[in-house]
Amino acid sequence: MSESARTVIVFGSLHYDVIVRGPARPRKGETITGQSWQPKCGGKGGNQAVAVSHAGAHSAMVGAVAEDDFGRTLLHNLDQQGVDRRFVRVLPGGSTGMSVAIFDGEGDYGAVIVSGANLTLSEKDVQAAAELFASGPILVLQNEVPDSANVAAASAAKHSGGLVILNAAPARMPSEALTAKVDIIVVNAIEAELLAGVPVVESLEGALAAARILSRSYPTAVVTAGGEGVACVTAAGEEIAIPAIPVKLVSTHGAGDAFIGMLAASLARGSALAEALANANRAAAELVSRPAPEPTV
C-alpha cells in the first residue's frame, strides 16, 4: 500500500449472518427441507470493510455491536481481516445485528436482517472517530444504519476534503441532506428503480438509462446490472459501460460488497474512475465464481 494512499472509512452495519442452503426459497406458508447452514461474519459495512482490506487499502470500520457472542465474533473477524476497528463501539446491552440468508439451487438468495446495535449509530460515533475523518478519507456508506448517522459521517468527511460513496442498499430514499453530500452513488437495478422513479431493465442499456437519471442528482451515478455489467454516468456527461466478465455463477452473495470494496480501494490508491470501475467489476466476477466455504453444519 502506498504511503500516499487515502484511508477508506466504512461507516455502517455489522451483522452476524446465518446462511441456509436449500433447493429453492420458500413461498409464503411453505416449509422446505434444506441441505446445510453455516455462520458468516457480515453486514454490508463489515463486508465492505473486509473487501477494502483485501484489495490492499487501509480499511477502518466505524460501527456498533453488542457485548454478546455475535459481537465478539464480529470484532475478532475484523481483526483477522486486517480492518482497523478501534472505533467500533461495544454496547453493554441490546443485541448485535444479524441476518438470515436463504440460497436456492441456482445460487441466488433472499435475506432478512435484524439491525440491533446498528440502529444506535449516531453523530457521537463520528465524533469519537474524529482522527479518521480529519484525514480527507474516502467514506463508504450504506442504508443499514440511520440516515441521520450517515449525514453526520458524510459531513465530517466532506469537511476535510473527503470523497463520499453511498451504496444505497437496501433500497431507501436518501434524505436531501445526505444526497447533497454524496459524490458517488452505487445501486443495483432494484435500488435504481426507487431512486430514479422509473422501471429499470437489468441490462447494460437499462443501467445506463437509470444512471443518466441519477446523475441529475449526484455527481457520479453507478448502476450495476448483475450478470450484464456496470454503467456509470457523471453530471459532466461522461458515460462508462463495462460488460460483465463471463464466469460460471456459484453464488451472488456478497458480490455488491466486493464491488464497493474494490471501487473504494482503487480510488484510494489514485485510480481514475474508469479504471476503478473495471477493477470493481473484476472483483465482483471473481467472487460470484468462487466456491463457497464448506458448510459447518
* Binding-site residues for substrate: 15-17, 43-47, 144, 257
d(CA 196, CA 241): 18
Residue 257 appears among annotated catalytic residues: yes
Q: Which residue has the cell 473477524?
A: 77
Q: For the chain, state the CA radius of gyration.
A: 18
Residue ranges of the annotated binding site are: 15-17, 43-47, 144, 188, 224-229, 253, 256-257, 281, 287, 290
Q: Nearest CA to 218 among 137, 267, 154?
A: 154
Pick left, alpha or beta for residue 2 (phi over 0 → left; psi -120 to 50 → alpha; otherwise beta): beta
Q: Which of 84, 125, 183, 257 is catalytic?
A: 257
Name the grid cell of 179.
444526497
Name the grid cell of 251.
453464488
Q: Nearest CA to 255 among 169, 137, 172, 193?
A: 169
Q: Are strands 15-21 and 36-42 parallel, antiparallel or unpaired?
A: antiparallel
Residue ranges of the annotated binding site for K(+) are: 253, 287, 290
Q: What is the DSSP string of 187-239?
A: EEHHHHHHHHSS---SSHHHHHHHHHHHTTTSSEEEEE-GGGEEEEEETTS-E
Please report, as a single letter, which amino acid is at residue 129.
Answer: A
- Residue pair 219/261 in contact by the 8 Å Cβ criterion: no
Catalytic residue numbers read 257
